[in-house]
Structure 1
């Protein structure tokens, strides 16, 4: 009932603004006309914001459900996160790769930094984009933990590059020292004996996947995204290629698939020649799944800054059939005919 009342009130306000515009005298000049129009629009926007329910305005924030991040000094997050996971379920599987590294206590900033990336803080005042961690937080975490990673032949992943993050005094960002914590132990303290090479003769970390040994992949379940016109129009993919899979690599913190590109059906800002390319997954679950030796139609996104082709949530990989090429070209004509712009790459740190 209250929503209906708000709608009626808004319609009355629109009618009132229309009547006022008809009744007011002719402006004396172009400046007056612009001022009058701007004032009317400002009044309308202000009224609309005031009438819109607070619950709707805050709907983009959701409670943090990622177990590793429940101890953080914030309890609301926003998806997609800075690594393009569209749901927290997908983010959980990706962040748990770092569980072993967190357990080494290599840096007191590591867990805070990871959670700021995978479960970014969300507030009503900053809803348009998730708030990023400050560059200094990333650098401290990297400085403390990359030496541990190198002992297992791994480097700090490009997807968590510090260079792309804002400085504390030059932009909006979040850091541990900026948050007032309640009295008591550090909320993001980790038990050093949990996964610590110093307290255990056998470091309980998988040297191939760099996380504490746990059945993470046993819980992986790829959501099948079927090739259909509706999906194509909705997801607005950056690239569509026909490719044969050479290898799928799930070593380290950046799982990849190496493919030989046979045909480029669609591309955006990243040049895709017909040669061997690396596709970058967003988690160790390797979704969508690819089988070495098979030929696929692959639809995905790109990162112009790093010239990377991405396989993230919503990407499609289906076994190749000859009719697929004509179908995609026809769908792209429909997409362009609807007046939609060429797709812009999702911002990424891959």
Structure 2
């Protein structure tokens, strides 16, 4: 018999629902007491798991609906520094709203709620988030990482599902607007995107061509580097950018090439992929505020988990 329990009743938060069924004697996820030194299939940690406050600068999960998390977490991060380094890469994806439970799924692993035993996300929740978000991730040149392989997660056991989830979500393919072009002019969002990108430049665009399923963006010679990252001097001479899977989706920023642009990107194999593009709009108070704040903004150290 399957009982549906509200996970956040334990922490006075009606946020997510757990599905409870009878547990088998042998399981890939053996629920061990948190007082034990053994955790997650017998791994030995330097310190036993403990409840800690979710810091404000853990942007992925600081507003998830509860205040404390278990550390080590369910991705084997033993320190808060590790958690922040890995979690930061996911913040731009959550902003894309590719699935309503993306944050719930990710935070159940990065910042698991304090319970007396580890509770993993349900396999079907992982599959729904993966299927809905993969088209957007591919537009940024990101694969679904091995660390989140859905086959690892339980089905038919105590697990976390989406809140009020009665109908499974399905992937709808690429969104109507090219993901790198679908950008709100918000100070925090832009700064987070800059930090998560390999390189950032201010430039004008000379020409845009279609190349297979991509759009090939040829830049003018004059460019201003705001974040060098993985770029090299030899790259700058003839820098060509690609809007992955962007041949047929709208990108209003590319409708008028007379503008200057703030372009963010990353290098994938031999291509430089656009991950974000904004019109350099001096008339926008929000954009001007962002550029002013960027001068003194210090990015956290991120670890690229999308290898």
Higher helix share: 1
Question: RCO (CA 8 Å, sep 6+): is it higher in 1 or 2?
Answer: 2
TM over 0.5: no
TM range (shorter): 0.3 to 0.5
Give TM-score scaled by structure 2 length. 0.44
Higher strand share: 2
